[in-house]
Amino acid sequence: MRGNEFLDKMELIDPSYIEGADVMVSKKKSVLIRLGIVAACLAFIVFAGAKILSHENKKINSDMPMLSVSEITPTMGYEGYTAYDISELVNANPWNEDFKLSTLPVYQNTFNYDENNFESGVDLDKIRKFILEIANRAGLDENNLTVTYDTPDEEEKQKIIDKFNSAGVTVPKGYFTPTKLIINSQGIEIEADSSMTATVHFEPALTVPSEYNFTHFSSYNDKCDVAEYLKTKYKSLIGIENPQADIFGGDYNIYGQQQYSVGFFEDGQDKTEKIINYNFNRVTFANDDDGKLFIVRICQPDLSVKAGDYPVISSNEARQLLIKGNFITTVPYEFSGEEFVEKTELIYRTDKNEKYFMPYYRFYVELPELKQEDGLKTYGIYYVPAVESAYISDMPVWDGSFS
C-alpha cells in the first residue's frame, strides 16, 4: 500500500501512482447495498477491554499467544447478499455442522504495515520465487523473463518528490519500497504481491469454446460446465493435484440478475486439511463482458508462522454468542434476532488487516427492514470467533447503538 490516505489529504499526486489497498477477490463476494448509509457503518462495533466469558477454571495453553479480533472497516457499503431464499446462496465450503472438531490451526499473518501505513517487511525474494513459479505454470520460460517492480521510473519519482517538497514535507520513508513484482510476456501479465496473491491477465482475453456459456450471468449449471472445461484446459496453471470446483455466489444485483463465480481448491486428506485448503489455497477464474477468460487469480497466503492448534467451540455455542452480541459485522442495523439466522458457515478471515488468520463462524441473518415486495431478501453477515473465548483477548461486544 502506498499511503493513499496520507496523499489524498494533501492532494499531491496523480492517482495512477497511488495504489489502493489490495482486496483479495474472495469467496465471500459482498454486495454493496445502499451506499447512502455508509456513514452509519463506521462506528457501531466496540471492543471490550476484558474477556466476556469467565475463564476461571479453564486450562489454557500458555505456549500459544492470546488472539485478537480485527475490527472490520466498512468501505463502500456493508457485507450483505440478496436472494429470494437462503438456499440460492451457494459455495463448496467443505465444512458442515456435522463436523466434530476439537481444534483448528491459527496462523500469524506475516503481512505488516509500518507507522506510515505502508507495507513493511516485504520479502521480495519470496515474491520473486512465487511469481516465477506462476509464470512457469502459465507456460512461460522463466529464463527469458524480465521481472519488474511496482515503482515509478526515475523521472516520475522525481515529480513525486517535487510535489511533496512543494507542500513543505518530505516523502515518507518507505514510500518507494516495492510491494509487487510484475512480468509481461507473450500477451500475459502477472502481478504478485506481498500477500502471495498472483493475478494473471491475458491480453487479448482467451476465447472459450462456444458450447460453454461463460458470462457474468451464466446459470449455476452453466458455470459447472465451464469449471469442468477450465479444470482440464488450465490444469498446469491451476497447479492443484486434485482440484475441487467451487461455484460460489447466487445473489442478485440491483437489476435482478443472479451471479456465480468459478474457483478451485485442493481436496484435503481430512476435515481440517479440507477447511484450510478451501480458505487459503484457491484459484479463481473471471470472464470479461464478451464471455472470454481474462483473469486468473491464484492465492497462496504465507502460513509459515503457526500460532498453534486452538480449541474451537461448536456452531451452537457460537450462535449463543451471536445472540449475546459477541460478533463483528458491517451491517448497520440492529441484530434482528435468532429467528432470522438462516445459515451458518465456518471460515477463516484472510484479509490483510487480520493479525491472525483464525476461524470464525459466519452467520447469514435476514434483515427484515430490507425485504422487498417481490419477496427478495437481504442477508447480512455476522462473524463470531470460533476459537474458545479463553484465548481471545478482545471478544467483540455490540453496544446496542450505531453512533
Amino acid identity at 268: G
Specify the DSSP class assigned to residue 397. E
Average pLDDT, the chain: 85
pTM, full prediction: 0.81
- Considering Cα of 107, then 111, then 114, then 120, what sign does the dihedral take? positive
CA distance 178 to 126: 13
And the C-alpha cell for 59? Answer: 486450562
The C-alpha atoms of residue 290 and residue 136 are separated, in whole angstroms, by 27
CB atoms within 10 A of CB 226: 25
Answer whether residue 198 shows pLDDT above 60: yes
CB atoms within 10 A of CB 145: 16
Q: For position 141, what pLDDT does the model report?
A: 94
Contact 125, 149 (CB under 8 A): no
Model pLDDT, residue 115: 63
DSSP result, 14-75: -GGG-PPPP----S---EE--GGGGGGGTT-EEE-SS-SS--TT----TTSPPB-PPPP--S
Note whether 365 and 336 are within 8 A (CB). yes
Is pLDDT at 25 greater than 50 in this prediction? no
Coil, strand or helix at 353: coil
Classify the C-alpha dihedral 359-361-364-367 as positive or negative: negative
pLDDT band for 13, please (50, 70, 90 cuts).
very low
End-to-end CA gap in the chain: 29
Q: What is the pLDDT of residue 21?
A: 35
Question: Got the DSSP string for 363-374?
Answer: EEEE-GGG--TT
DSSP helix/strand/coil, 304: coil
Cis ω for the linkage preceding 15 (within 30 of 0): no
Q: Tell me the average pLDDT across 34-60.
A: 42
**Nearest alpha-carbon partner for 211 in 187, 188, 228, 197:** 228
- List the chain domain ranges: 33-111+307-398, 119-150+173-299
Q: CB neighbours of 84 closer than 8 A, spacing ≥ 6? A: 375, 376, 377
DSSP code per residue over 155-216? HHHHHHHHHHHHTT-PPPTTTT---EEEEEETTEEEEEETTSEEEEEEEEEEP--TTS--ST
The mean pLDDT of 397-402, rounded to a whole number, is 56
Confidence of residue 6 (pLDDT cuts 50, 70, 90): very low
For the beta carbon of residue 206, count every other beta carbon within 10 angstroms. 16
Residue 61 has pLDDT above 60, yes or no: yes
Q: Which three cell numbers stand for residue 116?
A: 506510515
Choose among 29, 40, 54, 386: nearest CA to 216. Answer: 29
**Are the CB atoms for 90 and 247 separated by under 8 Å?**
yes
CA dihedral 301, 306, 309, 311 (to 10 degrees): -70
Neighbours of 119 (CB within 10 A): 24
Confidence of residue 36 (pLDDT cuts 50, 70, 90): very low
DSSP string, 89-128: -B------TT---SEEEEEE---EE-TTSBEES--HHHHH
Percent of the chain beyond pLDDT 70? Answer: 81
β-strand partners of 19: none
pLDDT tens digits, residue range 315-351? Answer: 999 999 999 999 999 999 999 999 999 999 999 999 8
Is the pLDDT confidence value at 34 over 70? no
CA–CA separation, 306 and 357 (whole Å)? 9
